């Protein structure tokens, strides 16, 4: 299995950049809840063990690696709300969450490695978009792990307030349980009204 490494960061360091942040978001696909982004600056002399794309790690492994990330790296996490997702669309909202996470790092990073094929337009720093970056860059992998776990916990909290949708296990994604519950329990304020299954329920003839 291919593992992410520090080579993209090393290349940026050779060009004179020192504070290199990996940036990733999670939660574009769910029908409910915010979209969450993280920005992480790793210490090249103290990189956590076991960093990988969060989707390739077991829950137990993710939590162990997350603890190392918080102990050894600079981390910022931010969200864009359901209202913002519905207002500006999910792509812009995910970029907004990324912009907010980067803005929280202090001192500011001087170079960004961003997961995906687009650089958010609000980021005015030297940046590089990295397709499938969480499998290539340890900094992006670290961001993917902390963003996912933060958002998962948020959805567990919301599940206690709005039981029945299965958010504690599906994190708001359109699982069968979630879609069935929408039919029975209806739409909550945490549902994304611009997303088709929710939109159709609200505005069907």
User: 3-class DSSP state for residue 36?
Assistant: strand
- Provide the 10 A C-beta neighbour count for residue 200: 10
- At residue 98, φ and ψ (nearest 5 deg) are -60, -45
Those residues with Cβ within 8 angstroms of residue 180's Cβ, 6 or more apart along the chain or in another chain: none
- Tell me how far apart the alpha carbons of residues 31 and 173 are, in angstroms, rounded to a whole number: 6
24 is in an annotated binding site: yes
| Ligand-binding site membership of 71 (annotated) | no
Residue 111, token pair as written in the block? 């170079």
149 vs 156: CA distance, rounded Å = 11
Residues in CB range of 45: below 8 A, 6 or more apart:
none
Q: Judge whether 53 is annotated as a binding position.
A: no
The string of DSSP letters for 125-165 reads: S-EEEETTGGGTBHHHHHHHHHHHHHHHHHHHHHHHHSTTS
Evaluate whether 134 touches 54 at the Cβ level (below 8 Å): yes
d(CA 203, CA 18): 51
Binding residue positions for a divalent metal cation:
24-25, 115
Sequence ranges of the binding site: 24-25, 115
């Amino acid at each position: 299995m291919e593992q992410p490494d520090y080579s993209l960061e090393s290349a940026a360091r050779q060009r004179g950049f020192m504070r290199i942040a990996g940036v990733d978001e999670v939660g574009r696909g769910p029908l409910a809840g915010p979209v969450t982004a993280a920005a992480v600056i790793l210490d090249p002399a103290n990189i956590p063990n076991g960093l990988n794309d969060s989707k390739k790690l077991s829950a137990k492994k993710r939590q162990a690696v997350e603890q190392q990330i918080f102990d050894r790296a600079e981390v910022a996490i931010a969200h864009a709300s359901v209202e913002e997702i519905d207002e500006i669309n999910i792509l812009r909202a995910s970029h907004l969450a990324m912009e907010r996470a980067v803005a929280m790092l202090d001192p500011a990073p001087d170079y960004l490695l961003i997961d995906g094929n687009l650089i958010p337009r609000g980021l005015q720093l030297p940046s590089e978009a990295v397709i499938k970056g969480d499998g290539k860059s340890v900094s992006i992998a670290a961001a993917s792990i902390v963003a996912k776990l933060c958002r998962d916990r948020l959805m567990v909290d919301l599940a206690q307030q709005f039981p029945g949708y299965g958010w504690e296990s599906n994190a708001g994604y359109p699982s069968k349980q979630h879609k069935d519950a929408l039919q029975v329990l209806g739409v909550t304020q945490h549902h994304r009204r611009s997303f088709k299954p929710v939109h159709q329920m609200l505005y069907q003839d």
